[in-house]
Amino acid sequence: MKFRSLCIATSTLLFAAVMAASQTACNVVYTIQPQNTSAFGAAITIENTGTTNWTSWSLTWSFANGQTVSQLWNGNATQSGANVTVTNESYNGSINAGTSYTGVGFNGTWNGAANTMPTNFAVNGVACGASASSSFKLSASTSSLSVVQGVGGTDTIMVTDAGQFSGSVTLAASGLPSGVTATFGTNPATTTSMLTLTASSTAVAGTSTITITGISGSLSATTSISLTVTSASCTPTAITPYISVNGGSTWSETSSASVTSTSAAVDLGPQPSSGGTWSWTGPNGFTSTSRQINSIALSAGANVYTATYTNSSGCKSSQAFTITVSGSTGGFTIAPASSSVTLAQGASATDVITNTFTGGFSGTVTLTASSSNSGVTVAVSGETLTLKASSTATGTATINVTGTSGSLTATTTIMVTVTANSVLAPGDHDVTITSGGLSRTFIVHIPTGYTGSTETPAIIDFHPLGGSGSEQEGLSGWEAKCNTVGCIVAYPDSSSTEASDGSWNVGFCCDDAEHNAVNDVQFGRDIITWLKSNTNLDATRVYASGGSNGAGMAYTMACEASDVIAAAAAVDFRCSTGTDPKGNAASVTASNNTACSCPNLKRPITVVAWDEAGDNSLVPYNGGLGGLPGDCPPNGSCVTNGFTSAKVNAQTWADFSGCTGSPTTDPDNSLCQIWTSCQSNTTVELCTHQSSVHLSTYSDSSANWIGVSWTRLSGQTLP
């Protein structure tokens, strides 16, 4: 499926599904991020914790609350009712035993009331359990409230556990109209807090949206209330709250009560009993127009019912009733997402501890951990453990994890195996691999100071037509930059047998590589796989770059491999993955740019495009036929291909990333125009070098192409 993003407020919910059987075969980590009142995004990690390598996978689950998958990336999804099936793409079907695949994700919809985690994950027919980590959401007992000038009104703000949350939440109100103040009865709050909105006698009449924000550590959530301030000529009637518990004949004048069972009989009967009309709202869509409601439905925790009274003058007043159902203290258990972890010397990894609450337990669990091996350390942050092996560590380590809540404790263990790490020395290394049935070569430059102890980003830098990896190393400037900032650079060579002219297959260009249908995108993917196996690669920060025909490869990798390429920088070329516009190239606009077709683009992506302003022939800045007969289809003769204009090319990428508005001058470089209002914190930038010489951007130090490009690329990570 193609990626489309949703602009929704961020609220993270992490779910870890762990198989309960003793021979665990699979583990699924399900993360909700972000979520608003109608839509949400989710990321999924699939872990093969069995002993058999997978060559393909099929992930299934069922939604419990009518959720739907709208768009999914890095997989193929079908949904029938509540049941969802996701199968692998051609490039991500292999998950070896003891490894995982992170990258499947989707945007979906939910009912705004409950977004319960799936509980029946299965991979290739093998069932996986499920548990949830800490998160919460806010809601208001009534979404609209009316107050009169000089009078106040109340609403109940509810803190709801959305996944083992048991902390306190600090509440704040924003968007208040002039003359209106907000106070919270309980702040911080753990379950409910009475919000009082007071309008002064001079408060401005009208309707405003009040945003309530709750913060607990790094977690946050919001809800909103529509507040109407009416003229003082309308005087609301005060509501007197009454509650009767367990069917007794005695009514208590109060707005809250606590019971020990959801079967308790609770009646609500506010006053006055005549002279106006009543309306109620409550949990699970409850409504009523009776004054007194009997034997209300209850569930564990806080149950809020709100009564609204409209008097004969049409003035409204509201009163919230809170009934709290408390149970036994219960207990809890803890378990790691991965019970065994393999670390190379000098490497680190994370594991997530999940808490399972039983018997009504709702306390806070504090985790501590220790290691049996001094060469393996463990750090605890919330429910996440960071495991790190020193460069001299050997053998195995048992990580003992203890969860404590008051007098209650629970324990679990993680087994860590340390493997020897052969670290590549700083400098150049010649590499030969097999990719697409061809012998392919590239140079890997390891930066100065590299020890292999920390994850390191990488650049794949593609050479121009007729060039080589070694020539590109001396041309682009990435070697010197990465020696300074600490990044690995791979300099690939075009195929020596299928593209002896030094060309790359980037769509309707170029020459031998296009004519022989060389799969250069797979070569790029295989380079990344090699880097993962032979360096301490930060696989979320791999970037594509290149010049001329190599810039076309950078664009093509962004189009076809956005699951492994975080961003791209290109010098003096255009995206050519679609249909050759030939002689019509100069008239192509972004809205009809079929020259750049990216059906496999999985997400918004940052792109930095550099072009020569005075190039009117080789790769024309304003669009037109190029300077070489470079379009050489497999079953045809070579013809001169067309290039869209530099501005149309940049606008096309801005459209791909959902950028809005017009670009503005980059404050770091006046040669560059940048779109910053793009989805998923991406940017798109067009930098115009004032020259007519092809690739002169590389040699002009005043242009600072490498500085601008690294600033934009380095801030991007894979989702």
User: What one-letter code names the amino acid at 315?
Assistant: C
Question: Could you tell me the pLDDT band of residue 333, with boundaries at 50, 70 and 90?
Answer: confident
150: left (phi over 0), alpha (psi -120 to 50) or beta: left
Q: Residue 631 has what pLDDT?
A: 87
Residue 683 in this model has a pLDDT that exceeds 90:
yes
pLDDT at residue 358, as a whole number: 67
User: What CA–CA distance (Å, rounded) separates 493 from 499?
Assistant: 10
Task: Rank 19-33, 390-404, 647-661 by mean pLDDT and report only the highest.
Answer: 647-661
Residue 16 reports pLDDT greater than 60: no
Question: Quick one: pLDDT at residue 361?
Answer: 64
Structure tokens given for 250: 């005695």
The region of weakest confidence among 52-56, 132-136, 227-231, 406-410 is 132-136
Give the per-residue pLDDT at 647. 97
Reported in sequence order, the residue ranges of 162-262 that DSSP labels E, i.e. its strands, are: 170-174, 180-184, 192-199, 206-216, 219-230, 243-245, 256-259
Dihedral sign from CA coordinates of 262, 265, 271, 277:
positive
DSSP 8-state code for residue 711: H
* pLDDT band per the 50, 70, 90 thresholds, residue 696: very high
Mind listing the pLDDT tens digit for each residue in 388-441?
888 678 888 899 999 888 777 888 989 898 876 667 889 999 999 999 999 999
According to CATH, the topology of domain 331-419 is Immunoglobulin-like (2.60.40)
Question: Could you give the CA distance from residue 27 to residue 22 in angstroms, rounded to a whole number?
Answer: 13
Per-range mean pLDDT, top range of 19-33, 207-221, 599-613: 599-613
- Predicted pLDDT of residue 630: 84
Q: State how beta strands 136-140 and 152-161 pair.
A: antiparallel
pLDDT in tens, 512-533: 999 999 999 999 999 999 998 8
CA–CA distance from 410 to each of 390, 403, 620 (Å)? 29, 5, 68
Closest CA to 103 of 51, 31, 34: 31
Q: For the segment 296-330, what is each residue's pLDDT rounded down to a tens digit?
A: 988 767 788 999 998 877 788 888 898 887 754 55
Least confident of 216-220, 470-474, 706-710: 216-220
**Per-residue pLDDT at 201:** 80
Residue 469 backbone dihedrals phi, psi, to 5 degrees: -60, -40
Give the model's confidence band at 15: pLDDT under 50 very low, under 70 low, under 90 confident, else very high.
Answer: very low
Residue 332 pLDDT class (50, 70, 90 cuts):
confident
Q: Residue 193: is its pLDDT beyond 70? A: yes
Given a cut of 90, is residue 490 above it in pLDDT?
yes
**Which tokens in the block code for residue 327?**
């149970």
Examine the pLDDT at 446 and tell me if it is beyond 60: yes
pLDDT at 21: 33
Parse the chain into domains and list their residue ranges: 13-133, 137-325, 331-419, 427-714
Q: Does 133 have pLDDT greater than 70?
A: no
34 band by pLDDT with thresholds 50, 70 and 90: low
Q: How confident is the model at residue 51, as a pLDDT? A: 87
Q: What pTM was computed for the model?
A: 0.48
Q: What is the pLDDT of residue 162?
A: 59
Establish how many alpha carbons lie within 13 A of residue 215's alpha carbon, considering only the half-sphere containing its beta carbon: 4
- Span 427-714: which CATH code? 3.40.50.1820
Find the mean pLDDT for residues 650-657: 96
Contact 130, 118 (CB under 8 A): yes
DSSP 249-312: S--B--SEEEES-TT--EEE--B--SSSEEEEE-GGG-EE--S-B-S----SEEEEEEEEEE-T
Tell me what pLDDT residue 247 has: 66
Phi/psi of residue 264, nearest 5 degrees: -60, 140
The pLDDT confidence band at residue 359, using thresholds 50, 70 and 90, is: low
- The number of C-alpha atoms within 13 Å of 547 and in the hemisphere containing its C-beta is 25
Q: Averaged over 206-232, what is the pLDDT?
A: 86
Same fold, 13-133 and 331-419: yes
For residue 40, give the amino acid letter: F
338 membership: H or E segment, kind and range: none
Could you read off the pLDDT of 35-49 as tens digits, one per residue?
A: 666 777 777 888 888
**CATH 2.60.40.290 describes domain 13-133:** yes
- Percent of the chain exceeding pLDDT 70 equals 91
137-325: CATH topology is Immunoglobulin-like (2.60.40)
* Beta-bridge partners for 27: 18, 47
pLDDT at 688 over 60: yes
Q: Are 311 and 276 in contact (CB under 8 A)?
A: yes
* pLDDT score of 663: 96
What pLDDT is attached to residue 275?
A: 83
Top pLDDT among 340 and 10 is at 340
Q: Examine the pLDDT at 674 and tell me if it is beyond 80.
A: yes
